[in-house]
């Protein structure tokens, strides 16, 4: 059978690759998470973290899920609407107060590296996530060596060191770090 061509076929191929990536990384990432306390405010970044969001919502004070792809955001908003303490957004900036007042920082972070965005965008997303977490908050990140892991881990080590490797069976990696104090940390404005 001839291979499908065109924009639709390319987009479907990319979606299939992201789904395969998520199915390889997510089980290991979810298995290594420590149970957050009941008063935790959990910030999840990644299109495929809806099962984790639904599992955490009844156990913690607040959950926000950042779904990067618009189609996923739309579907997840409907799928997770029954959880009053769970918010689905497309960008971290949507969690900021619209009037510019400071917002309460999050106490627990999880990210499935969005390798498909490219290194620069992935590093920006890591920094944006870290900027919204309280100092010393646990940050769990899962990814794959074959999908820009090395470069993302360098950025992660700068914002959440020391890193503890929780799972490492080539090519999958899952690490935990704790957010450093805001003093001396580079912010997006300085990138």
The pLDDT tens digits of the residues spanning 32-66 come to: 999 999 999 999 998 788 889 999 999 999 999 99
**Per-residue pLDDT reduced to its tens digit, 116-134:** 777 888 888 899 999 999 9
H or E segment to which residue 180 belongs: none
Reported pTM: 0.84
Q: Where are the domains of the chain?
A: 7-190
Q: In which order are the strands placed within the sheet that holds 86-89?
A: 86-89, 62-66, 41-45, 108-112, 138-144, 172-178, 164-169
Strand partners, 144: 172
Report the alpha-carbon distance of residue 73 to residue 81 in Å, rounded. Answer: 12
> What's the rounded Cα separation, in Å, for the pair 18 and 2?
23
pLDDT for residue 190 is more than 50: no
Residue 186 has pLDDT above 50, yes or no: no
Task: For residue range 10-34, list pLDDT tens digits in order.
Answer: 777 777 777 788 888 989 999 999 9
User: Tell me, what's the pLDDT at 1?
Assistant: 53
Give domain 7-190's CATH architecture.
3-Layer(aba) Sandwich (3.40)
């Amino acid at each position: 059978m001839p291979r499908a061509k065109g924009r639709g076929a390319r987009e479907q191929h990319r979606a299939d690759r992201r789904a395969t990536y998520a199915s390889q990384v997510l089980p290991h990432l979810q298995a290594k998470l420590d149970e957050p306390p009941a008063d935790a405010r959990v910030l999840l970044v990644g299109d495929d973290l809806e099962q984790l969001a639904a599992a955490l919502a009844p156990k913690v004070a607040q959950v926000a899920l950042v779904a990067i792809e618009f189609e996923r955001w739309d579907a997840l908003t409907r799928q997770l609407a029954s959880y009053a303490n769970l918010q689905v957004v497309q960008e971290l900036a949507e969690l900021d107060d619209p009037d510019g007042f400071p917002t309460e920082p999050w106490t627990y972070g999880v990210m499935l590296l969005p390798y498909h965005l490219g290194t620069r965008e992935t590093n920006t997303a890591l920094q944006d996530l870290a900027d919204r977490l309280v100092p010393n908050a646990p940050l769990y990140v899962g990814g794959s060596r074959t999908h820009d892991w090395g470069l993302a881990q360098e950025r992660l080590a700068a914002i959440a060191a020391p890193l503890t490797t929780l799972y490492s069976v080539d090519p999958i990696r899952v690490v935990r770090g704790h957010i450093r104090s805001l003093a001396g940390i580079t912010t997006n404005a300085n990138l």
